[in-house]
Amino acid sequence: MFDNVCKFLAESFSSDFTTWLLSEPITLTQLSPSELSLEPIRADALILLQSDEIFLHLEFQTTPKADILFRMSDYRLRGYRKFPHKRMRQVVIYLKPSDSELVYQTEFVLENSLHRFEVIRLWEQPTEVFFNSPGLLPFAALSQTNDQTRTLEEVAQVIEALNDTRIRSNVAASTAVLAGLVLNKDVIKRILRSDIMRESVIYQDILQEGLAQGLEQGLEQGIEQKAQEIAIKMINKGINLEIIVDVTGLTVEQVQKLQAQTEDTQAE
């Protein structure tokens, strides 16, 4: 979910990101990774944006991964093959503090080949930077702040002052998701108003995901409950434990527990 939120923000507020990373508000359009791929690499947090002169290649990472070094080099070469006259700015943005050495690595080295890219560790970035643009607000609580709760409260105040309802809703929902990396959900719920988020596409995605998980869990619980009912009937008929396990799909331990419960009930 964190990857999806970062993608959404970079694509929806591209000029905010270019102002931050390129120091100029260039409007970029989305470029599909498949346009640069001979054999596409799976890259969950890959974002490619482009203008006539430049590519912006962003990789948002919650957990450091060793293959990021090769991936940055590979996509630079793919970009050069497709558009040899365009510059490419490549940035890996780590969202959550880590002790891994990977978050400090900015080079891919292979024999005589060397490729460099940039790395941003959000927890080392000045907090005020993320208050400059609506699209960056969701990252403020992940920045170099001494009080993440207070920072989130300040972000909430700025969000509520936004005039555009759609932007206000999307930024609030994105902020709630990313804040979950550093704060517990009760704090987030207390600070960010859920009514502001309801119209957000991010909020709807979360809702749909939650419903899907609920249905799946309900189905699994229903199947297990039915299996237990069948097992109890078989126990009462004196059927062998191994047969009950084979028929119902329950474990030996589950059937033994049901046997003990049945015996206790009969004893009463």
Whether pLDDT at 212 is above 50: no
CA 14 to CA 81: how far, in whole Å?
Answer: 24
**Per-residue DSSP letter, 24:** S
Distance CA 74, CA 115 (A): 9
**Choice between 78 and 114, residue whose per-residue pLDDT is larger:** 114
Residue 22 has pLDDT above 90, yes or no: no
Task: For residues 207-227, give the mean pLDDT.
Answer: 56
Compute the average pLDDT of residues 124-138.
95
Sheet (strand 118-121) strand order: 29-30, 46-50, 54-61, 87-94, 118-121
Read off the pLDDT band of 131 (50, 70, 90).
very high
pLDDT in tens, 136-153: 999 999 999 999 999 999
Domain range summary for the chain, segments of one domain joined by +: 2-202, 203-267
Q: Which residue has the higher pLDDT, 170 or 203?
A: 170
Contact (Cβ atoms closer than 8 angstroms) between residue 88 and residue 94: no
pLDDT above 90 covers a percentage of the chain that reads 30
197: pLDDT confidence band, cut at 50, 70 and 90? confident
Residues in a beta bridge with 29? 50
Lowest mean pLDDT among 175-189, 191-205, 244-258: 191-205
pLDDT for 23: 83
**Rounded average pLDDT over 216-231:** 67
Q: Which residue has the higher pLDDT, 125 or 65?
A: 125
